[in-house]
Chain A
């Protein structure tokens, strides 16, 4: 098991290196660099710019050097000093802008993931066990619909319904009085009371997909000989179901968390923009529009890193859940 973990962590580091290089490449795609943008902005305002400061900034980010050297500088600044560069739209260090947003984003995505599982597994199991029942048809229909509605469209519809029939704005994560308040119990409760709608919207397509996959997996297992054996031994039906085939059919989920999570973060990004939630979405979007590339790059880097770590954790969970996989790595 230990060698498995070591290997996975090593692999993760390689992936992270690739992510950071790609991110840096994207940062560099638009013509010009941060300093020349700064210069242009200052000139358009008719301000005198301090050439020395510009030279200092160039030096700090290694902008006059080749790609690899620039990349090395950016990475070492991040790793050594936690310095992600400076956002030129905000005139602030990136790290002072993003952390609480990233925190909320990830909190939202993980809550959505838990919601998806809590809803989808029971429904998926039910619709496999009672195949072709009315409930199964309802679940299947819901599954198709959930996959076909774009998330932002769902958000728009909810906003419209909230406005039209309840006369209230459904956007945001906090009520006005808690918007700038420090964290306390009341603020947490307020957050929870606003959270259900984004979770519902972001989780929609994930839930639909998960129901369909659970159903298909379980249907494959239900007619295998070991199920018949267990039934012949006289095991009660529900105990039998939960102990063997359901357990088997759930393992793919741990291994696909790595794909579900990026999807949830994507969904979270666009929903946050539509519902103006104080998560990474709107800030990232604004940064993309103003070509605030250090901010964009840092967001992608951090979100991808968290996703890769999430994937690693889910793989470890899979090894713990499924003895077949555990044994493969224990040399058994």
Chain B
């Protein structure tokens, strides 16, 4: 059936959303970051494991585009290192005379794209395979921070999505039961939600993740952490669903549907759900940053994911000591990645919420 009465609800939402400039910028950034996470292997200059002990805590190298003698061409200056005789620290100085040419689509560390396709091309890297270049500096073991941040995006971002998906199922189910049936089930579920909201989450997360057996592999651990985050995190979504159900139940169009003889499931799925899907999507978008921050905090404390798994929280673990920070402030870069991601997601969520509201 062709809609002849004008723009559909989704089109109206899109129209309002497009006017929200911050939200548009935010969604562009979020899409970009997810794209980076999806093609991490190709976009990262090297792999997460590749290390070079001679470049422990090597500072970021600036990418130059133009050279006075050679003309245009990507290159970085080399680093020369000297060991401090007292502290045994490696001290780096930029060697202006050494030029390491860089290029796009160069051959480097071999990898399997998505664990399947064997490749060795990287978006950017030194043209000479033997050289090591650190665009965002190196960590304690001489591993490339940029590559690790790019790979870390994969875990940190997907945990947000998976966690919200689990919370969504729980929230929709329990919130829906609570709002549609009311009475006894409603009271019970409301008490449960209030109870979960009354407990400080971090101590609870801490003790639950301590109960995760240390022998579990990275993948099982990943899912255990996700489940822990969402078992506590579903309450917010459940409240939104319940509130919507409660107010919609009294709406005229629901009464009309009932009088027309629609069955219960048809009323719920054909009439009620479509009118709050947009709200649900907005609330879900708002819930993702919380999950990401939760995983980051847990991993940062060493109770979430553990090395050799790479997530932004795991990377920030290295930044825990002030000593390390003093030698290598670039260890805080994963924090900037978190900041930008969460900020962009909040913008998107905010824009979605505003544009999903038909009365604005």
Contacts and interface: CB of A to CB of B under 8 A. Distances in A.
Given A149-B339, A163-B325, A164-B326, A285 B206 contact: yes
B342 A148 contact: yes
B66 to A, nearest CB: 32
Nearest to A153: B335
Contacts of B332: 153, 156-157, 160
Interface of B: 191, 194-195, 197-204, 206-208, 210-211, 213, 289, 293, 296-297, 300-303, 316, 319-320, 322, 325-326, 329, 332, 335, 338-339, 342-343, 346-347
Nearest to A11: B191
A29 B204 CA distance: 13
A111 to B, nearest CB: 16
Given A258-B198, A266-B201, A307-B199, A148 B326 contact: no
B311 to A, nearest CB: 13
A270 interface: yes
Nearest to A259: B197
A164 B293 CA distance: 27
Interface stretch (A13-21, A79-87, A238-246): A13-21
Given A153-B338, A159-B322, A163-B322, A304 B200 contact: yes
A269 interface: yes
Given A270-B301, A288-B303, A262 B197 contact: yes
A156 B197 contact: no
Given A274-B320, A307-B199, A26 B207 contact: yes
Interface residues of A, number: 49
Interface stretch (A67-75, A193-201, A227-235, A295-303): A295-303
A150 B195 contact: no
A157 B303 CA distance: 22
Contact of A19 (B199, B302, B342): B199
**Interface of chain B: mostly helix, strand, loop or mixed:** helix
A18 B195 contact: yes
Contacts of A291: 210
A296 B195 CA distance: 19
A99 interface: no
B202 A270 contact: yes
Contacts of B302: 289
Contacts of A152: 297, 300, 316
9 contacts: A18-B195, A19-B195, A152-B300, A153-B339, A262-B197, A265-B203, A266-B203, A273-B301, A291-B210
A274 B289 CA distance: 22
A114 to B, nearest CB: 18
Given A15-B195, A266-B202, 16 more contacts: A15-B194, A29-B208, A144-B347, A148-B289, A148-B342, A148-B343, A150-B297, A152-B316, A153-B339, A156-B335, A163-B322, A270-B301, A291-B210, A300-B199, A303-B200, A307-B200
A150 B203 contact: no
A153 B338 CA distance: 10
A262 B303 contact: no
A288 B339 contact: no
Given A152-B300, A160-B322, A163-B325, A288 B210 contact: yes
A152 B210 CA distance: 20
Contacts of B201: 262-263, 266
Nearest to B201: A266
A269 B191 contact: no
Contacts of A269: 200, 202-203, 206
A152 B319 CA distance: 11
A144 B202 CA distance: 22
A137 B181 CA distance: 43
B198 A289 contact: no
B32 to A, nearest CB: 17
B207 A156 contact: no
A29 B209 CA distance: 10
B220 to A, nearest CB: 16
Interface string A132-172: 00000000000011011110110011011001100001000
